[in-house]
Amino acid sequence: MFGTPLKASAVRNLLQQRSLAVAATVLLTGLGAAWTAVLLKNGMTRVVSWRLGLVEQLEPVLGRATPWLVLPIVTGLGGLLAGLLVKHLAPAAHGSGITQVMKFLQGQRVPMSIRVAVVKLLGGILAIGSGFPLGPEGPAVQMGASVACQMATNLRAPRSFLRLIVAAGGGAGIAAVFNAPLGGFIYAIEELLHNARPVVLMLVLFTTFMADTWGDVLNWIGFGQDEGFTAAVSLEVSKTFDLADFTFRPVDVLYLVLLGLVIAGLSELYNRYVMVMQGLCGRVFGPRPVLRMALCGLLLGLIFAPLPAEFADGAALKKLVALDLRDGTTDLGANLAIFVAMFFTTGLAAASGAPGGLFAPMLILGGAVGLVGSALLQTTTGYAPSSFVFAGMASFVAGTCQVPIAATFITFALTKQIVLLKPMLVASLSCYLLARAINRRSIYERQLELENRHSVWAPPLIAPVSLR
């Protein structure tokens, strides 16, 4: 369990005595989480478009050498700038951000403020946009939690409520970036708080739904569009993937369990690889985090240079998975290549300390495994479950992060089709059980342990303080 138990009576008293202030804090936390998520996603999209456009513009001049020259320089420069920004303005904004929130909830003194949120926002745009294969959800968790902490501090709330609203802000970040209020709510309870008291559930649920609602409003008025700031005419359900035809046979349960077990092994391998890379980078670079991010960015650019342009853009990789899903024809070699490339590059990117999360890469990794498994089953048996892609996505997150229910609802948000909940739950729960049997610690708990032993971004932690 993280931190000290929440005193439900203290939170109830706060709700009764200062209900308007608490309501304002929750509303502003949801709005802040939605705003930072929208700005992060739009900023990333614009920098990615500029980077890929630069390659196209220089290709007539530089020829085939263009990606070899442009990508390493741009990614290395993005890592350098993000590193300088984080080091000099807010060292707590390094990495995914989830471990920092976990430290705070354990009672350690970790900076959580608007300044941290702004640096995380800018650093994430620079790093992810320039080519680090990371996702926006880690920064969104830390930004939402930082905004929540600032609001609660201004409210002068007791520490029991402070811990609660910080966790709710982290869940609101997940809700805003994935348009998944239930996923954010369950993630906050399952991973961050480990608490199921009714008053806690009520506040966290309301905060995450407020973040998703604010996100819909921002999309509606035109601030959430990937193609620029063009006003929308109506509120629409956001879906990344669509599944036109769905069938579920009794034999699917067996196949989904097998998929979950296979992904459990792959997710443990991924966790160990990421931790080995973080330890290696720590030993090689020591107390030189800016150099670490710049050189890792340079190396990532060199890795992506000979690969198709889609490999340097996470959104394009998701579209490739969606295209295979829509057409019903799976390119086995392409999906194996996606898995291998994402497996190794995201481990290097995470080890660099760049602001960015691992949820989005995990979804792509799981989707690629699902497509490969579907192709193999179709070849050998003539039938493959139509839910394999989504089951693979949910399972990979469940195995690495050990949050099977949150993983299911985050993946569900990508398609908004209720019929997929059952197959995703079957696969993710089987994956979780085996992953838990192999190692009881999630990837973030392992990163937290490593950071507590060897932190190069921040001064030694002050002794833990009670949050009662």
| Residue 239 is assigned to a structural domain of this protein | no
pLDDT digits (tens, 9 = 90+) for 289-312: 899 999 999 999 999 999 887 787
Element (H, E) at 134: none
Report which DSSP code applies to 357. Answer: B
Cα-flanking dihedrals φ and ψ of residue 156, to 5°? 60, 45
Higher pLDDT, 102 or 26: 102
- Altogether, the residues listed in the chain come to a count of 468
| Residues in Cβ contact with 43 at an 8 Å cutoff, skipping those fewer than 6 apart | 121, 124, 125, 129
| Residues in Cβ contact with 314 at an 8 Å cutoff, skipping those fewer than 6 apart | 128, 133, 135, 360, 361, 364
For residue 337, pLDDT beyond 60: yes
| Residue 398 is assigned to a structural domain of this protein | yes
| Residue 236 is assigned to a structural domain of this protein | no
For residue 243, what pLDDT is reported?
Answer: 62
| Residues in Cβ contact with 328 at an 8 Å cutoff, skipping those fewer than 6 apart | none
Residues 202 and 281 in one domain: no
Look up residue 462 and give its two tokens: 């002050």
461 CB-contact burial (10 Å; exposed 0-12 / middle 13-18 / buried 19+):
middle
pTM metric for this prediction: 0.86
**Number of H helices and number of E strands within the chain?**
18, 0
Q: Torsion over CA of 90, 96, 100 and 105, rounded to 10 degrees?
A: 140
> Which CATH number covers residue 108?
1.10.3080.10
Mean pLDDT, rounded, for 101-120: 91
Within a 10 A sphere around the Cβ of 310, how many other Cβ atoms?
16
Look up residue 58 and give its two tokens: 């220089």
pLDDT digits (tens, 9 = 90+) for 369-381: 998 998 899 889 8
Residues 259 and 198 in one domain: no
pLDDT digits (tens, 9 = 90+) for 357-370: 998 899 999 999 99
| Residue 1 is assigned to a structural domain of this protein | no
| Residue 229 is assigned to a structural domain of this protein | no
Mean pLDDT, rounded, for 13-18: 58
Task: Please state, in angstroms and rounded to a whole number, the distance separating the CA atoms of residues 468 and 158.
Answer: 8
Residues 139 and 211 in one domain: yes
For residue 328, pLDDT beyond 90: no
Alpha-carbon torsion (242, 245, 246, 252), positive or negative: negative
Which of 45-54, 188-197, 418-427 comes out lowest in average pLDDT? Answer: 188-197
User: What is the domain extent for residue 443?
Assistant: 250-453
| Residues in Cβ contact with 356 at an 8 Å cutoff, skipping those fewer than 6 apart | 96, 124, 127, 128, 132, 134, 135, 136, 138, 139, 349, 350
Tell me the C-alpha to C-alpha distance, in Å, between residue 59 and each of 48, 52, 66.
17, 11, 5
Residues 409 and 280 in one domain: yes
Which of 5-9, 30-34, 371-375 comes out lowest in average pLDDT? Answer: 5-9
* Domain count of the fold of the chain: 2
Look up residue 338 and give its two tokens: 């996606």
Higher pLDDT, 9 or 60: 60
Amino acid 57 reads: Q
Residues 432 and 351 in one domain: yes
Residues 327 and 442 in one domain: yes
CB environment 232-271: b (16+ within 10 A), e (fewer) = eeeeeebebbebeeeeeeeebbebbbebbbbbbebbbebb
For residue 9, pLDDT beyond 80: no
Largest Cα separation within the chain, whole Å, is 69
Tell me the C-alpha to C-alpha distance, in Å, between residue 55 and each of 52, 80, 452.
5, 20, 40
Task: Please state, in angstroms and rounded to a whole number, the distance separating the CA atoms of residues 221 and 234.
Answer: 9
Task: Please state, in angstroms and rounded to a whole number, the distance separating the CA atoms of residues 127 and 356.
Answer: 8
> Which of 107-116, 225-234, 259-268, 417-426 is modeled with the greatest confidence?
259-268
Residues 146 and 289 in one domain: no
Residues 330 and 199 in one domain: no
Look up residue 334 and give its two tokens: 């392409």
Task: Please state, in angstroms and rounded to a whole number, the distance separating the CA atoms of residues 305 and 69.
Answer: 8
- The residue from 220, 242, 271 where one domain ends is 220
For residue 436, pLDDT beyond 80: yes
Reduce the DSSP state of residue 135 to 3 states and report it: strand
Residues 154 and 292 in one domain: no
Element (H, E) at 229: none
Look up residue 44 and give its two tokens: 């990333």
Confidence of residue 385 (pLDDT cuts 50, 70, 90): confident
**Contact predicate 341/281, CB 8 Å:** no
Within a 10 A sphere around the Cβ of 426, how many other Cβ atoms?
23
**Contact predicate 114/146, CB 8 Å:** yes
Q: How many CA atoms lie within 13 A of 146 on its CB side?
A: 27
> Which of 200-209, 322-331, 389-398 is modeled with the greatest confidence?
389-398
Mean pLDDT, rounded, for 278-287: 86
Look up residue 105 and give its two tokens: 């909830």
Task: Please state, in angstroms and rounded to a whole number, the distance separating the CA atoms of residues 285 and 208.
Answer: 38
Residues 31 and 127 in one domain: yes
For residue 65, pLDDT beyond 80: yes
Residues 388 and 432 in one domain: yes
Residues 328 and 274 in one domain: yes
Look up residue 146 and give its two tokens: 């930082």
For residue 51, pLDDT beyond 80: yes
- Average pLDDT, rounded, for the chain: 83
| Residue 373 is assigned to a structural domain of this protein | yes
| Residue 460 is assigned to a structural domain of this protein | no
- List, as one string, the DSSP characters of 262-311: HHHHHHHHHHHHHHHHHHHHHHHHSS-HHHHHHHHHHHHHHHHTTS-GGG
For residue 134, what pLDDT is reported?
Answer: 93
Task: Please state, in angstroms and rounded to a whole number, the distance separating the CA atoms of residues 107 and 117.
Answer: 20
| Residues in Cβ contact with 140 at an 8 Å cutoff, skipping those fewer than 6 apart | 33, 36, 37, 40, 173, 174, 176, 177, 357
| Residue 84 is assigned to a structural domain of this protein | yes
Mean pLDDT, rounded, for 178-193: 85
